[in-house]
Amino acid sequence: MFDLNNILRENIKKLVPYSSARDEYKGTEGIFLDANENAFGSPLLLEIEGQELNLNRYPDTLQIAVKEKLRKIKGLPIENIFLGNGSDEAIDIIFRAFCNPGKDNVIICPPTYGMYEVSANINDVQCIKVPLLPETFQLNTDAIIKAITENTKLIFICSPNNPTGSEISSDAVKKIIENFNGIVVIDEAYINFASYRTFIPELLNYPNLVILQTLSKAWGLAGLRVGMAFASQPIIDVFNKIKPPYNISIVSQKLVTGALDNIEQVNHWIKVVVAERKQLTEEISKLPFVVHVYPSEASFILVKTIDAKRIYNYLVENQIVIRDRSKVEMCEGCLRITIGTPEENMQVLKKLKEYK
């Protein structure tokens, strides 16, 4: 049985969080001399959508205005939403909540997103690698369950997976969740581009599930650095206790709140990316130096070629920058190409057709 108390670090269980001035007094009217802010103002006047932003004031620690918008879009209560400075901050906080440095371990399934291992290394947590099955890039479920030790705290699953673009079978994911008493993290950074649904509704069934999403990809806000984690309220409460109190700036909060109103624009881009992904997959598959384009549910395609390094250099010479993944295990010969605008994709295809 999963019990949050069994897997939290002792120091985190005992942690008395930093109490900010704004935690103690919630009103918006008054003379605020409680946080040592500059009462005069800031040397920069910033207006967003006709409203002046008080940069001299600390931001809302719990980002309630942003979460109110996300609540409607994601269909889950704000108590189940955590916001981080990119999902990379959420990943780091997950490590710090559950993994004792030098003692605990986590399971990752390469080829996958690099930050899980980097975060593990930073936190001095061992990474047990159970590779995806070759070519299909699906979970090796039995091997994962066998690899679990009494010190395994987290299992990371990225779906759609980066850099393969593959959907991870939801039955396999459920099997892992049901056979593990630690936390399963599903990274859904690319879920907006997928033909299948988010795991969010499963939060009601699984108390050991954490789902990561981000505003950096489909939402086009990579520069703002805002990522989301969705989980049970007790888990979200722990994350909020650990995070730096003012981790999302007042500028980011304001801009995100506005951006979240433009969902039609985002949905339109998603449709274009999905259509372009299909077309680019077909066209690139026909090129003589391409072995295979893997089916993708994400905003990029993974292309297996006969000479990745040379093709990569050729494109760079033509001022087209893609990602060489050929050194990654199971991705030998592979290039990862982000789906651009239709004009950009046309340029890439044109240059690739000219490649000799």
Ligand X SMILES: *Cc1c(COP(=O)(O)O)cnc(C)c1O
Provide the binding-site residues for ligand X, judged by CB under 6 A. 86-88, 113, 158, 162, 187, 189, 214, 216-217, 222, 227
Q: What is the residue whose two structure tokens read 């620690």?
A: 61
Q: What is the residue whose two structure tokens read 């049970």?
A: 232
124 phi and psi angles, rounded to 5 deg? 55, 50
Largest CA distance in the chain: 71
Report the residue number, 110 or 227, with the smaller CB distance to ligand X.
227
Report the residue number, 9 or 239, with the smaller CB distance to ligand X.
239
Q: In whole angstroms, what separates CA 52 from the centre of its chain?
A: 31
CB of residue 355 vs ligand X: minimum separation in angstroms?
27
Report the residue number, 4 or 270, with the smaller CB distance to ligand X.
270
Whose CB is nearest to ligand X?
Answer: 86
Report the residue number, 221 or 352, with the smaller CB distance to ligand X.
221
Distance CA 177, CA 26 (A): 39
Which amino acid appears at position 167 of this protein?
E
Report the residue number, 192 or 214, with the smaller CB distance to ligand X.
214
Given a contact cutoff of 8 angstroms between Cβ atoms, the answer to whether 319 and 355 are in contact is no
CA gyration radius for the chain?
22
CB of residue 281 vs ligand X: minimum separation in angstroms?
19
CB of residue 156 vs ligand X: minimum separation in angstroms?
9
Q: Please give the C-alpha separations between residue 37 and each of 16, 62, 181, 246, 301, in angstroms, as whole numbers.
A: 24, 19, 45, 14, 48
Report the residue number, 266 or 352, with the smaller CB distance to ligand X.
266
CB of residue 220 vs ligand X: minimum separation in angstroms?
12
CB of residue 70 vs ligand X: minimum separation in angstroms?
14
Distance CA 68, CA 260 (A): 10
* Cβ-based neighbour number of residue 238 at 10 Å: 25
CB of residue 86 vs ligand X: minimum separation in angstroms?
3
